[in-house]
Structure 1
Amino acid sequence: MTEELERLRNQIIKLVEEKGYPGELGALAADSLGSEKAMTRMIGWLSHSEPRSAEDIADEMLAICEDRDNWRKKKEAEFYQQKYNQYLWDMKK
């Protein structure tokens, strides 16, 4: 894990503990998020919200993961669409 990821992970754990939940929940959320952008988004949410339960934190983590996965799928589809378009273009020549 890079230094930046470790710093973001520790920040999520700290924020979760400040909200009154166990640090293990923060560690699990941070590990599940995995990327700097996703962790930064979770930090923003934790900094500006008052979760009513641990489930709220887990739900937000899952929503961020889903957005990340959808973005990856979109980029993958765009890549393969471009390859297919190139293939069609080459066939016309």
Structure 2
Amino acid sequence: MTEKQIYWSRKRDELVTAIKQLGFPRELGDQIAKQLGSPKAMDRMLAYIYNVKPRTAELIVDEMLAICSDIDTWHKKKSAEEANAKYNEILYYGLETDDEENY
């Protein structure tokens, strides 16, 4: 396993353990970790669990959905910024095509 895989595995195990300590089944922790997908997202969920200590599975799932939504929004924002930068580059420099030489 690579270092990244080991780090991801440790974060997943930490999240699963934290959820189990709240009295929920391991399977819930496994699914939450799978949906979050990254150690940074799992850190956000762990901070929520340690600070709030949710009493229902619904609260845990709701927070997981909120984190996933934030990540999705961030990805869309970055994609839009990249597209905007390319568009501005085209406006500034124009389209450099071979067809322009024929005119």
Q: TM-score, normalised by structure 1?
A: 0.94
Corresponding residue pairs, total = 92
Structure 1 partner of 2:16: 13
In angstroms, what is the RMSD of aligned CA positions? 1.4
* Offset of residue 91 of structure 1: 2.1
C-alpha deviations, 1:38-69, integer Å up to 9, x for none? 01111111111121210000000000000000
Q: Is the counterpart of residue 87 in structure 1 residue 90 in structure 2?
A: yes
Quick one: which of 32, 38, 50 aligns to 2:35?
32
C-alpha deviations, 1:1-60, integer Å up to 9, x for none? 701110000001000000010011011000100012101111111111121210000000
Unpaired runs of at least 5, structure 1: none
Structure 2 distance, partners of 1:2, 1:68, is: 20
Q: TM-score, normalised by structure 2?
A: 0.85
Percent identity, aligned pairs only?
A: 43
Structure 1 partner of 2:62: 59
Unpaired runs of at least 5, structure 2: 96-103
Structure 2 distance, partners of 1:81, 1:52, is: 44
Secondary structure of 1:20's aligned partner: coil
Contact 2:36/2:42 (CA < 8 Å) preserved in 1? yes
